[in-house]
Amino acid sequence: MADYRSIPGPSPSRGGDSVANVLHFSSDPLEYMSRARRKYGDVTALVRGGNDSLYVHNPDCPGTIFAFGPRQNEKILREADTFHSASLIASLLPRGSEALRRITTGLFSYNGAEHRRQRQLVWPPFHRKSVEAFCRVTGEVVENFIGGWKPETVVDVELEMKRLVLQVVWKTFFGVDSSSVPELAALTEEWLKRLPNLGKTWSPNLPGSPLHRICEEAEIIEQEIRKIIQAPDSGGPPRSVLSLLKASRDEQGEGLSEEELVGHGFSMLMAGYETTANAVTWSLFLLVNHPAVLSDLHEELQGHLGGEAPPAERIGRLSLLDLTVKESLRILPPASLGWRIAARETGLGEYEIPAGTEVIYSPFHTHHSPELYREPECFRPGRWEHLRPSPYEYLPFSAGPRMCLGASFATQTIKVILSLLVQRFRFEIPPGTRVDYELGITLFPKQGLPLRLREQDSRFAEGKREVTGTIRKLVKLC
């Protein structure tokens, strides 16, 4: 195999360091990676010759590489003992921030045999029957939330979907209404908004600093979640993810500790709320810009549901809804990039990969490969009537032994929310709307997504208007 330092990639800056490359990458990771793939191929370096660690602090990191396409996806994701997962929060942890460490220690933080044990313990809430049992309560939360929306007003769909999905998560994961824990719910919402910004600028852990505030609030969040965990169960059938986690046992009959319950519960909230909310947001954006698809979807939903939320047994009959969600997750996957760390020396393509190398794979670029998807920038749900891609050709929830446990739960939640929104309202793009994308941990509209609410009058063509912004680099609004 060729030496690691021969992996092609953009040149370092004139001073020989990688700072300029990292800044260019950080400003638009998708565009930086697209250019690298076009110029250098399926295995490229963030900067030729290596760089300091990008996402996870590691003084021995030789550099960051990009791996594109199904072949590389399969190697990285199947060989979980070679390509380790790492929490992106870990690099932010200062000394003494034990509460922050505990509430962010979920499955992302484990590898090897311990990951397999933890995954076995965390699996019960995500069995098919368990997921279906949450369908009704999800519908109730959505009904209550959108009941406060008024036609003829403009809502920021991105912001509203995050609030809505957080309410769904509180009810389904922890078994509590967010209204019953208003201070905790409000603190968590604000905390989650501010957390990603810590990675953009260095912050000392000093009183009054953003990082110190995050750590202090993590202690409050942990204490409140422990109170929910310690509350006695109702004695009836388990009705939340938490109750199922508390009852779970491994082959030796051991369950999760309270600390593990805190970590898994809150990590699931963190991982699930933003990806699911952004999936609904992008789906609405794509539907409003494709009124013929939206009209057909509305007809299907009305025919099967008559304005109501879908019960679990009917979701499988909503074929166009299924195709629509699949296509939305293909063209604008919220989890557009994935990260791994080489735990030992290995290889990708024709190149040696030393231990400690950061490896970034890309569901987004896989989903936009013309070799796999004809006219990949076009939103065409009908393509899924005949497509049967492999798990490494279509991976909105990753793939392999670390595939997202909550994939079915998230998909069901997306479908329930969309089915009610499309039946109750007609959405309209306000004149002069600009939509720029940004990729942090997830892909989201940078300035939000304003949409005007109308009574559902089926005049879908009137909802589409010219949209400007960088989103047009990712999607052809045909």
Q: Of 346, 276, 368, 339, give the one whose Cα is nearest residue 90.
A: 339
Backbone φ and ψ for 452, nearest 5 degrees, come out as -90, 135
Rounded to an integer, what is the distance from CA 57 to the centroid of its chain?
A: 22
Check the annotation: does 135 bind a ligand.
Answer: no
E strand or H helix at 65, and its extent? strand 64-67
DSSP states along 183-210: HHHHHHHHHHHHGGGGGTS-----TTSH
Alpha carbon distance 248, 333 (integer Å)? 31
Structure tokens at 369: 């490969």
Q: Encode 315-326: b = buried (16+ Cβ within 10 Å), e = exposed.
A: beebebbbbbbb
Q: How far is CA 239 from CA 117, 126, 172, 270, in A?
A: 24, 13, 8, 20
The rounded distance, in Å, linking the Cα atoms of 79 and 306 is: 47
What does the CA dihedral 379, 385, 389, 393 come to, rounded to 10 degrees?
Answer: 10
Cα separation of 85 and 359, whole Å? 10
Q: Which tokens in the block code for residue 365?
A: 């670029």
User: Cα–Cα distances in Å, from 390 out to 110, 120, 366, 400?
Assistant: 26, 24, 11, 11
Q: Are 458 and 437 in contact (CB under 8 A)?
A: no
Known binding residues: 404
Query: Can you say which residues are annotated as belonging to the binding site for heme?
Result: 404
